[in-house]
Structure 1
């Protein structure tokens, strides 16, 4: 079976699709990953990758789209736009992606198309070829809502390919733990490719003090420095070892004695020896901490960050704070609040009970 995997050209969208793609490949199927931009780094997992977005610049799309919708743009920056801002951005993106994805699918002739919610170009290609499309969730929204918002802003892509509407998928794969968020579809355990980098030996074992890992987004906008500056400012008054992962230059310029710096690392391998994770509110970071059973502090911010952070806080597995509200007291609570750790452990066990990607391969093959 040939499987075309289609993703928006962004690291945080592509990497969660890789484990299932690898499982399909390892089961003997031919897999081709269609993406672009930073997502091309998924080739490091040993998958063939095709660039469907040469010269991709997400900022350029935002600058073209948002000035025409100032109220939605303002809400998107505050994290209160729901799916409206994402629909504008990814509708415009998919209008550009659809023609190259359909052309690729027509040449390669997959028997199955697997796509994430913000890559509806894959579903258009599947409809054109009359093959099954499967939506794979990679976030904490319900993918059905994301697809609807994207298709509503898709422009002329459907008409160009002879469609009046997007057919429903043959199946969907739900990765959110049900106690955190509701998604429709076959359950599948969340896991993600983490890219390159090597884990230093000292991060494989717990240190003398509890360790807090601090990460930042792979997609940043103007003035968006995430939680790192506030964590560094509070670090002197926290009894912990704090590790900044890929810090920006300003955050790493002058550090307290209990703060260390590392470059890109396989984060999933560092989490077991850590006590907590602080991050920008991205879905991958939130799900990674939940899978590891670690309390987390997620900052509320633009796009889906407020949504993700508030879901985690509502479940009791972490804190949702604005970066300027991060204090030594909050960091200490992250380490000492047993209720946070207990809730995170419950969700971790919930995720572990979901079928791993390899268990879905035969079920997907049966669709063809």
Structure 2
């Protein structure tokens, strides 16, 4: 079976698709990942990768699209736009992606197309070839809503490829633990490729004090700094060790004695020896902490970050705060609140009980 995997050209969108793609490859299927930008680093996982977005610059798309919709742009920066801002941005992105993805599919002739909700170009290619399309979730949103918001901006693109609307997928794959978010489709245990980097040996074992990992977004733009500056400012007042992962230059200046810095690391390998995760509210970070059973502090911010942080807080597995509200008191609560840790452990067990990516390979093969 030949499987074309299609993702938006963003690390946080492509990397969660890698575990299932690798499981298909290991089962003997031919797999090709169509993406671009920083997500081309998925090739380091041993997957063939094709660049369908040469010169991709998401910031350029945002600067072209959002100023035409100032009210939506303001809501998007506050994290209150729902799917409106995402529909505008990823509609414009898929308008660029669809022709290259369709052309690649015409040449490569897949038997099945697996795509994430913000890469509906994959659904168009599958419809053109009359092969099954499968939507794989990679966030805490309902993918049906994301596809509707994106597809609503693609009228001319769809007509160019002989379609009046996006056809429904042959199947969908849901990765959100049901107690946190509702998604449609076959359940699959969340996993994500985390890129290269070596894990220092000291991060493999618990330290003398509770360890808190602090990460930031892989995107850059308004609101993308997340919680790092506030954590650095408060760290000296907290009985813990803080580890900043890939800090920007400003966050790494004048660090307290209990703050250390590392470059890109396989984060999933560092979580088991840690006590908590502080992050920018990205879906991958939120799901990674839930899978590891760690309490988390997620800052509300642009795009889906408020949505993700508030879902985690509603489940009781973490705190959702504005960056300026990340104080010593909040960080101490993150480490000492038994309720947060108990809820995170419950969700971790819920995720562990979901089928592994390899378990879904026979179900996908049955669609062809």
What TM-score do the two structures reach when normalised by structure 2? 1.00
Aligned residue number for residue 44 of structure 2: 44
User: Does the residue aligned with 1:202 lie in a helix, a strand or coil?
Assistant: helix
Distance 1:192 1:223, change over 3 A: closer
**CA deviation after TM superposition for structure 1 residue 224, in Å:** 3.0
Return the alpha-carbon distance in structure 1 between the equivalents of residues 15 and 30 of structure 2. Answer: 18
Contact 1:91 1:155 survives alignment (8 Å): no
Return the alpha-carbon distance in structure 2 between the equivalents of residues 38 and 101 of structure 1. Answer: 17
Contact 1:98 1:124 survives alignment (8 Å): yes
What stretches of structure 1 move > 3 A for 4+ residues in a row?
none
**CA deviation after TM superposition for structure 1 residue 222, in Å:** 3.4
Which string of whole-angstrom CA distances, capped at 9 and with x for unpartnered residues, describes residues 323-348 of structure 1? 00000000000000000000000000
Which string of whole-angstrom CA distances, capped at 9 and with x for unpartnered residues, describes residues 104-160 of structure 1? 000000000000000000000000000000000000000000000000112411000
Contact 2:36 2:51 survives alignment (8 Å): yes
Which string of whole-angstrom CA distances, capped at 9 and with x for unpartnered residues, describes residues 154-185 of structure 1? 24110000000111000000000000000000
**CA deviation after TM superposition for structure 1 residue 221, in Å:** 0.4
Bigger mean CA deviation after superposition, 223-232 or 188-197: 223-232
Contact 2:73 2:85 survives alignment (8 Å): yes
Return the alpha-carbon distance in structure 2 between the equivalents of residues 293 and 89 of structure 1. Answer: 33
Contact 1:2 1:29 survives alignment (8 Å): yes
Return the alpha-carbon distance in structure 2 between the equivalents of residues 291 and 151 of structure 1. Answer: 31
Return the alpha-carbon distance in structure 2 between the equivalents of residues 223 and 147 of structure 1. Answer: 25
Contact 2:155 2:164 survives alignment (8 Å): no
Return the alpha-carbon distance in structure 2 between the equivalents of residues 232 and 321 of structure 1. Answer: 16
User: Does the residue aligned with 2:85 lie in a helix, a strand or coil?
Assistant: helix
Aligned residue number for residue 79 of structure 1: 79
Return the alpha-carbon distance in structure 1 between the equivalents of residues 266 and 225 of structure 2. Answer: 21
Return the alpha-carbon distance in structure 1 between the equivalents of residues 34 and 221 of structure 2. Answer: 25
Which string of whole-angstrom CA distances, capped at 9 and with x for unpartnered residues, describes residues 67-102 of structure 1? 110000000000000000000000000010000000
User: Does the residue aligned with 1:156 lie in a helix, a strand or coil?
Assistant: helix
User: Does the residue aligned with 1:172 lie in a helix, a strand or coil?
Assistant: strand
Return the alpha-carbon distance in structure 1 between the equivalents of residues 189 and 270 of structure 2. Answer: 19
Contact 2:286 2:308 survives alignment (8 Å): yes
Contact 2:180 2:315 survives alignment (8 Å): yes
Contact 2:155 2:165 survives alignment (8 Å): no
Contact 1:95 1:155 survives alignment (8 Å): no
User: Does the residue aligned with 1:333 lie in a helix, a strand or coil?
Assistant: helix
Which string of whole-angstrom CA distances, capped at 9 and with x for unpartnered residues, describes residues 25-80 of structure 1? 00000000000001100000000000000000001100110111000000000000
Bigger mean CA deviation after superposition, 224-233 or 288-297: 224-233
Count of residues in correspondence between the two structures: 368
- Return 5+ residue gaps in structure 1 as ranges: none
Contact 1:290 1:348 survives alignment (8 Å): yes
Contact 2:223 2:301 survives alignment (8 Å): no
Return the alpha-carbon distance in structure 1 between the equivalents of residues 70 and 98 of structure 2. Answer: 26
Q: What RMSD, in angstroms, separates the aligned Cα atoms of the two structures?
A: 0.5
Return the alpha-carbon distance in structure 2 between the equivalents of residues 57 and 219 of structure 1. Answer: 11
Bigger mean CA deviation after superposition, 8-17 or 213-222: 213-222
- Return 5+ residue gaps in structure 2 as ranges: none
Return the alpha-carbon distance in structure 2 between the equivalents of residues 53 and 87 of structure 1. Answer: 19
Return the alpha-carbon distance in structure 1 between the equivalents of residues 70 and 327 of structure 2. Answer: 33
Return the alpha-carbon distance in structure 1 between the equivalents of residues 6 and 223 of structure 2. Answer: 31
User: Does the residue aligned with 1:261 lie in a helix, a strand or coil?
Assistant: strand
Aligned residue number for residue 101 of structure 1: 101
**CA deviation after TM superposition for structure 1 residue 223, in Å:** 5.5
Contact 1:296 1:317 survives alignment (8 Å): yes
